[in-house]
Amino acid sequence: MKYVTEFRDPKAAKSLLAAIAQTADKIGVTRAKPLHIMEICGGHTHAIFRYGLDKLVHEGVEFIHGPGCPVCVLPMSRIDECVEIARQPGVIFTTFGDAMRVPGHKQSLLQAKAAGADIRMVYSPLDALELARRNPDREVVFFGLGFETTTPSTALSIQAAAREGLTNFSIFCNHITVPEPIKALLDDPDMVLDGFIGPGHVSMVIGTHPYDFIARDYHKPIVVAGFEPLDLLQSVLMVLTQIAERRAEVENQYARVVPEHGNPVSLAAIDDVYEKRPSFEWRGLGEIDASGLRIRPKYAAFDSEEKFCIGYAAGPRHFEEPEGCACGAVMTGRIKPTACPQFGRGCTPEMPLGALMVSSEGACAAYWQYGGARAAAE
């Protein structure tokens, strides 16, 4: 696999690990007094566990698993709203597979499907669009979720639907943005982070400048990283090198995919279709100002919230989290998944209580799946 295999070369990994260890020793970090490096993106979390990187790097480097899994930060009430839309007569509700098992207050989408709702998994919003074209007598709704990486795909789909004059296609928009929650984390007085691994695929859309504030205002290094193991290790080394040299800059390890200024077509589509919500609720983090997107009024015909008068369109909302769930503390890096009183007891991948256990990108599910649970028990 071109651009994949060569970034999984074990020999290069060995040199990187040695260089990381030397730099960590130079900084003087230890297991007892480690550096806390947050990988913002859930894809990075997944790769770290899949390749066992957490166990291979110098013991003075600790990964903190950030809030960058769109499924994990989705509030339960949004799943409830999905189920409500899906149950309306005539609706075909389409979604990425990721969202199927996320618990709502009463049902997950998987359970709603079993109860008779027409819920279909698709790979792309384009597939939902095609369903709408083929089923003019049905109302096709696409569950739009994800960060800036995914936002252009739904924006371009709405533009296409508008061009074609489709009247039976809409998007339930749950798109969120990366910089705002990072700022919220950095403003947290309990924050312990020393540096960041930046989200590579978000950055291919928005470029590297939206992170400038992290280096400029908070004096933390951030390295935008690719998703193969060598990408991640090289990025860790770059963060450590910045720390050793007392620099705080935005660096781009993933230049083969990430242009400095992002992708102009994607950015234009996002700007045409979406606008910032005043605030949006994040599971475990609460309301964050200007962290969510909504569909602009000119595209209201393609906005499921308007079409079904649901969600933020239905008026004031109240928020609640499941009792005893410590997803928020885990996501901000204050505690490890295993320190949550529900971990492995009230909350397992079979019966997830908190969102971090639902998605395979969630820190808790990754801990469980790849052995963190057992490591902790041993």
Partner 1 sequence: MCLGIPGQIIAITDPARLMAMADVSGVRREVNIACIADGPLEALIGEWALIHVGFAMSRIDADEAAKTLDALHDLGEAQEALEAMAAGQAALEMQR
Partner 2 sequence: MKALRDTHVTLSHGGGGKAMRDLIESVFTEVFQPPGMEDQARLMTGALQEPGARLAFTTDSFVVTPVEFPGGDIGKIAVCGTVNDLAVGGGRPLWLSAAFIIEEGCEIALLRRIVASMAAEAVAAGVRIVTGDTKVVERGSADRVFVTTSGIGVIPPGRNLAADTIRPGDVAIVNGVLGDHGAAILAARGDMALSTNLRSDCQSLGHLMQAVLAAAPATRAARDATRGGLASALNEMAEAARVGIEIDETLLPMRDEVRGVCEILGLDPLYLANEGTLVLFVPEDQADAALAAMKATEAGRGAVIIGRATAAHPGTVTMRTLFGGSRIVDMLVGEQLPRIC
Q: Which residues bind partner 2 (CB under 8 A)?
A: 1, 4, 8-10, 13-14, 42-43, 49-53, 55-56, 69-71, 96-98, 100-101, 120-124, 127, 146, 150, 229, 349-350, 359-361, 368-371, 374
Nearer of residues 191 and 369 to partner 2, judged by Cβ? 369
Q: Is 108 one of the binding residues for partner 1 (CB under 8 A)? A: no
Question: Minimum Å distance from CB 281 to partner 2?
Answer: 19
Question: Minimum Å distance from CB 147 to partner 1?
Answer: 6
Q: Is 69 one of the binding residues for partner 1 (CB under 8 A)? A: yes
> What is the Cα–Cα distance from 179 to 184, expressed in whole angstroms?
9
Question: Minimum Å distance from CB 338 to partner 1?
Answer: 23
> What is the Cα–Cα distance from 275 to 184, expressed in whole angstroms?
20
What character string, x for contact with partner 1 (CB under 8 A) and - otherwise, covers 142-171?
----xx-xx-xx--x---x-----------
Contact indicator for 125, 142 with CB cutoff of 8 Å: yes
Question: Minimum Å distance from CB 147 to partner 2?
Answer: 8
Judged by CB under 8 A, the residue of 102, 214, 269, 295 near partner 1 is 269
Q: Is 41 one of the binding residues for partner 1 (CB under 8 A)? A: yes
18 CB neighbour count, 10 Å cutoff: 12
Can you give the chain as a three-state secondary structure string?
CCCCHHHHCHHHHHHHHHHHHHHHHHHCCCCCCCEEEEEEEHHHHHHHHHCCHHHHCCCCEEEEEEEECCCCCCCHHHHHHHHHHHCCCCEEEEECHHHCCCCCCCCCHHHHHHCCCCEEECCCHHHHHHHHHHCCCCEEEEEEEECCCCHHHHHHHHHHHHHHCCCCEEEEEEEECCHHHHHHHHHCCCCCCCEEEEEHHHHHHHCCHHHHHHHHHHCCCEEEECCCHHHHHHHHHHHHHHHHCCCCCEEECCCCCCCCCCCHHHHHHHHHHEEECCEEEECCCEEEECCEEEECHHHHHHEHHHHCCCHHHHCCCCCCCCCCCCHHHHHCCCCCHHHCCCECCCECCCCCCCHHHCCCCCHHHHHHHCCHHHHHHC
Contact indicator for 237, 16 with CB cutoff of 8 Å: yes
Stretch that binds partner 1, among 76-84, 190-198, 239-247, 254-262 (CB under 8 A): 254-262
Look at residue 115 and give the partner it binds from partner 1, partner 2, none, a contact being a CB closer than 5 to 8 Å depending on partner kind: none
Look at residue 299 and give the partner it binds from partner 1, partner 2, none, a contact being a CB closer than 5 to 8 Å depending on partner kind: none
What character string, x for contact with partner 1 (CB under 8 A) and - otherwise, covers 212-231?
---------------x--xx
Question: Minimum Å distance from CB 130 to partner 2?
Answer: 8
- Half-sphere CA count of 174, side-chain side, radius 13 A: 28
Look at residue 338 and give the partner it binds from partner 2, partner 1, none, a contact being a CB closer than 5 to 8 Å depending on partner kind: none
Q: Is 88 one of the binding residues for partner 1 (CB under 8 A)? A: no
Judged by CB under 8 A, the residue of 2, 33, 246, 318 near partner 1 is 2
Nearer of residues 156 and 342 to partner 1, judged by Cβ? 156
Cα-Cα-Cα-Cα dihedral sign, residues 8, 41, 185, 73:
negative
Return the residues of window 191-210 that contact partner 1 according to CB under 8 A.
199, 201-202, 204-205
Question: Minimum Å distance from CB 297 to partner 2?
Answer: 28
Question: Minimum Å distance from CB 109 to partner 2?
Answer: 10
Judged by CB under 8 A, the residue of 75, 125, 181, 337 near partner 1 is 125
Residues at the contact surface with partner 1, assessed by CB under 8 A? 1-4, 6-7, 9, 11-12, 14-16, 18-19, 41-43, 68-70, 96, 123-127, 146-147, 149-150, 152-153, 156, 160, 199, 201-202, 204-205, 227, 230-231, 234, 253, 255-259, 263, 265-266, 269, 361
